[in-house]
Structure 1
Amino acid sequence: MRTIGQWIVLIQRNFRVIFADKLNLSLIFLQVPLIAMLIVVAFYHFDRDKQNFDEGARILYYFGVMKEPLQQANKTINIDTLHRYAKTMALEMNIATRHDYIEKTIKPFFERKNVPLPDLTFTYLKKEIQFISDIASIRRGSVYFLLVAASIWFGIMNSCKEIVTELPLLKRESRSYLFISPYLSAKYFVLTIILGIQTGLLSIMVVPLLLKLSGMDTLSIWLILWTAAFVSASMGLFISSVVNSYRMVLTLVPLLMIPQLLFGGLLRPPVDLDNTTWSHLTNALSAITIQRWAFESILTTDAYAKGGILKLEVNPKSSGELELLQAKNTSLVSSFFKPRKWGSLWPPLLYLLSASVVFFIGGYLALRWRFT
C-alpha cells in the first residue's frame, strides 16, 4: 500500500511540475500542429505526383489480366483491342463508369471468345480500391514513416530530461523513503498521458487530410503511433537513468534519432536488400530500431495494406515481348518488407512492447545501482 501511495503522490507531483512551467507545456503541445502542418504542406496532393506512372502501371496490369485467360484458352490475343480496353480502364477514375464499361464492352468481348471474364477490380473492406504504382506506394509510405518519426521524437524529447534533471532530489529522497519502482512508474504514467494526446492530435490533423482514411483507421493509426511514442519514452527514460548530465542527454538525442531514420525501412526498404554481409548488417541495425517495427505495423492500417499496389517487373529472359514488362498486384506492406508468417501487425507490436519492458527494467536497475 505504501508503494501505491507513493505512486499516486508522485503522479500528482509530476503533473504539478508540468503545469507550473506554462511555457514548456505550451511548447509540448504547440509543436504537434506545427509538425502536422509541415507534413501536410510537404505531401498535400501527393497522389497527383507523376500520375503518368500510375496510369502506365494500370494499363500494363489490366492488359496482363485480360491477356492471361486468352493465353490459357489458346485464343487469339487482339493486342490493339486489349490495349484499348486497358487504357480506358486505367484512365477512367469513376468507379461506376468503369463497371459500366466492363459490363457493356469488355464482358461481351470475352463472351464472344468463350473465355471467362477476369476480375478487373480490387476490393478491400467492401470498398473498391484504385490501383496505384509502386512509385506512388513509396510516397504514401513516406507519410506513415514521418508520422512514426514524429511520434518517436515526441517520446524521446519528452522523457530524456525527466530523471537526469532530478538526480539531486532523487538521491536525497531515495535515502529516506522513496522507492524506485513507483518513482519510475509515475514517470511512465504521466508521459503516456501526454504522448497519447500528442499522437492523437497528430493523427487527427494528418491522416484524414492526406491519406483520406476513415475514423476507425485513424484510431488504429493513433494507437500504433502512441505505442511507438511510449517505447521511445521508455528508451528516453532509460538513457536519462544512466547519464549524469542534461548536456550529455542532448548530445545523445541525435544518436538515437538518426538510426531511426536511416534504418527505419523507408530509405532502403528491407525487401530490396540482397544476401550480402552489408545487407545483413543493415538488417541487424534495422531490427533494433523502434522506427522499423512501428513503420511495418502502421502500414497494415492502410487501404492498400492487402493489395492495390502495382509493382513493375522486368523479365529480360522472357520468351515473348508481351511478358517483357508486367505489373503485379501487391500490397503496401510488401513494398517495404518481406512477408511475415504471423502477419505484419502483431509481431512488430509485440517486439515494441517487449522493448519497453526491457527499457523499464534497465532503468530500474540503473537507478537501484546508483542510489541504493
Structure 2
Amino acid sequence: MPRQSLPQASLTILLSQWSVLIQRNFQVFLADKLNLALTILQVPLIAMLIVGAFYQFDRDKHIFDEAARVVYYFDLLKTPLEQADKAVNIDKLYKYAQFLAQEIDENLKMDYINQQISPYFTAKSVTLPNRVITFPQTTSPLPISDLASIRRGSIYFLLVAASIWFGIMASCKEIVTEQPILKREIRSYLFIFPYLAAKFWVLMLILGVQTGLLAMMVVPLLLKLSWLHTGWIGLILWITASAAATLGLFISCVVTSYRVALTLVPLLMIPQLLFGGLLRPPADIAPTNNWLIVTNTLSALTIQRWAFEAILTTDIYAKGGILKLQVNPKGRGELDLVRAINSSLVNSFFQPRKWGDFEAGYRWPPLLYLGSASILFFLGGYLALRWRFT
C-alpha cells in the first residue's frame, strides 16, 4: 500500500509517528554513553571557564566607576545652583559628590544628605535635586561606569554564545548521519514532518537542561542576581539554543556529509561572535556608507545579536545605573566639559527601536525574531528533505 502524502495523512498517524520517534531518539541518545557524558560535562566545564575568566570582574576599572559617580553627582548638584544664578562652590560640591559616590551604608548616606547637603542648599535658597535622594538609594547596587558595563555585558554575550554552541553542535549531526535509513523509511511509511518535529522536541528538552544548568552555575555567582532573574536568563538562553538547534537541523538536512556539517559549524559561529553586538555595538554604528549598512544587515541576521539584546533586559541595570561620560567641548566653561549621563545596560549596546510613534521594547521583538527564525529554519529543513527524498 503506497504511503499517503502529508495532507492526506490523519492527525492520529502523525502523532503516533511523532511519539514513537521521540522514544526512539531518547533511546539512541541514552545508549551512546560517551556522547551522553560529553553533553552533560560540557556545561559545568564552560561554566567554570566563564566564572574563572570573569571572577570578581566588578572590581575591574573600579576607580572609573567611582570617578563616573563623582562626575554625575557633581553635575547634579551644581545644575540647580547655576539655574538660580548662584555661586558654585566647587570644593564643597566636589566633597559632597565624593561622599555620595562611595560604597557606604545607605543610612549613613541619608544622614549625610540631611545634615550636610540639604542645609547648604537651604542656605542658598535652592531646592536640592530629588535624584540625589532617590538615586541610587532606591536601587542596588551603585551605578557603574560605561567601561564596567562592557565587562558585565560580556558575560551575557558569552552565555548566549555558549547556548548557540549547544544548539548547533547538538543538531548538526542529527539527520545527516541517518540519511541512508531515513531515505528508506520515507519511501515506505515515514512522514518527514513528525520525524523533524521529534528531533526538535528531544533537542529542546536536552537544551533546556543544559541552558538551565548554565544559568544556575554562572548567574548567581558572577552577576549576583536573584533566582527570578536567573530564571528569565535561563528561559532566554533556552529559546536561543532552540533557534540555534533549528539552524543546525536545517544544515543537517541540506548537506550530504557529516564532515561538511562540522566544517560549517565554525563558519556559522564566527559571524555570531563578530556581529553579535559586543565587539562593535550596533548603538555605535551609524550607517553612513554601504559597508556599514552591510555590517548592520549581517548583525541583524545573526541569532547572537537578538538573543544578546533580549538577555540584557534581565539585568538589574537594564533600566538605568550605567553612567556614560560625555565630553562637550562647546560647553560654556570648564565645569560643563564632562558630564555623566545616566543610561542603561541595553543602551550601551543597542539603540532604541521605534516603529512610527511607537517605541518598541528591547525584550519581546528580539524574542519574536528568534521564534520566527526557528520556524523558518524548521520549514527550510522540511522542504529540503522533501525535495531530496520524496
Range class of TM-score, shorter chain = over 0.9
The answer to whether structure 1 residue 297 and structure 2 residue 346 are counterparts is no
Query: Matched residues in 1 for 2:26 and 2:89: separation?
Result: 72
Give the TM-score of the pair, scaled to structure 1. Answer: 0.98
In the alignment, does 2:117 pair up with 1:106? yes
Deviation larger for 233-242 or 99-108: 99-108
Measured against aligned partners, the alpha-carbon deviations of 1:312-339 in whole angstroms (never above 9, x if no partner) come to 0011121211111111000000000001
1: CA distance, partners of 2:86 / 2:331: 20
Measured in 2, the distance between the counterparts of 1:3 and 1:279 equals: 47
Q: Is the alpha carbon distance of 1:51 and 1:126 closer, same or farther for their aligned partners in structure 2, counting shifts above 3 Å?
A: closer
Q: Which amino acid aligns with 1:252?
A: L
Partners of 2:30 and 2:73 in 1: CA distance? 59
Contact kept? 1:122, 1:129, Cα under 8 Å: no
The count of aligned residue pairs is 372
Q: 1:110 to 1:125 in 2, by over 3 A?
A: closer
Counterpart residue type for residue 302 of structure 1: D
**1:249–1:267 distance in 2 versus 1, CA, 3 Å:** same
Structure 1 residue 211 corresponds to structure 2 residue 229: no
Is 1:120 aligned with 2:138? no
Task: Name the SS of the counterpart of 1:311 in structure 2.
Answer: strand
Aligned pair 1:12/2:30, yes or no?
no
- Aligned partner of residue 120 in structure 1, secondary structure: helix
Matches within 5 A, 1:219-234: 219-234=231-246
TM-score (norm 2): 0.93
Decide which of 152, 159, 174 is 1:162's aligned counterpart. Answer: 174
Q: In structure 2, the residue corresponding to 1:224 is in which secondary structure? A: helix
Instruction: Check if 1:24 corresponds to 2:35.
Output: yes
Matched, 1:258 2:270: yes
Instruction: Quote how far apart the aligned CAs of 1:3 are.
Output: 0.7
d(CA) in 2 for partners of 1:164 and 1:122? 59
User: Paired residue for 1:41?
Assistant: 52
One-letter code aligned to 2:27: R
Structure 2 CA distance, aligned partners of 1:54 and 1:68? 21
Q: Does 1:175 align with 2:175?
A: no
Number of the residue aligned with 1:86: 97
How high is the sequence identity, in percent, across the aligned residues? 66
What CA distance in whole angstroms lies between the structure 2 residues aligned with 1:288 and 1:158? 21
Where does residue 5 of structure 2 map in the other structure?
Answer: none
Question: Unaligned regions of 5+ residues in structure 1, if any?
Answer: none
| Alpha-carbon contact 1:155-1:195 (below 8 Å) kept | yes
CA distance in 2, matches of 1:125, 1:333: 21
Distance (whole Å) between structure 1 residues aligned to residue 317 and residue 305 of structure 2: 19
Q: What displacement does 1:93 show?
A: 3.2
Whole-angstrom distance in 2 between the partners of 1:321 and 1:209: 42
Deviation, 1:277, is 2.3
| Alignment partner, residue 365 of structure 1 | 383
The answer (yes or no) to whether the contact 1:121–1:129 under 8 Å persists in 2 is no
| Structure 1 pair 354–328 and aligned structure 2 pair: CA distance change class (3 A) | same
1:172 shift after superposition: 0.5
Q: Secondary structure at the match of 1:251?
A: helix
Quote the RMSD (CA, aligned, Å).
1.3
Q: Against the structure 1 CA distance between its residues 189 and 125, is the aligned structure 2 distance closer, same or farther, given a 3 Å change threshold? A: farther
1:61 is matched with 72
Letter in structure 1 aligned against 2:125 = N
Q: Which residue of 2 aligns with 1:97?
A: 108
* 1:321 has 2:371 as partner: no
Return the offset for 1:121: 5.3
1:128 is displaced (CA, Å) by 3.5
Please tell me whether the aligned partners of residues 122 and 128 of structure 1 are also in contact (alpha carbons under 8 angstroms).
no
Say yes or no: does 1:50 pair with 2:68: no
Are the counterparts in 1 of residues 55 and 222 from structure 2 also a CA contact under 8 Å?
Answer: yes
2:344 aligns with: 331
Structure 2 distance, partners of 1:19, 1:123, is: 53
Q: Is the 8 A contact 1:122 1:308 kept in 2?
A: no
Between stretches 198-207 and 108-117, larger displacement belongs to: 108-117
Consecutive unaligned residues of structure 2, counting only runs of 5 or more, are 1-11, 354-358
Per the TM alignment, residue 126 of structure 1 is displaced from its structure 2 partner at its CA by 5.8
Measured against aligned partners, the alpha-carbon deviations of 1:21-42 in whole angstroms (never above 9, x if no partner) come to 0110010010000000000000
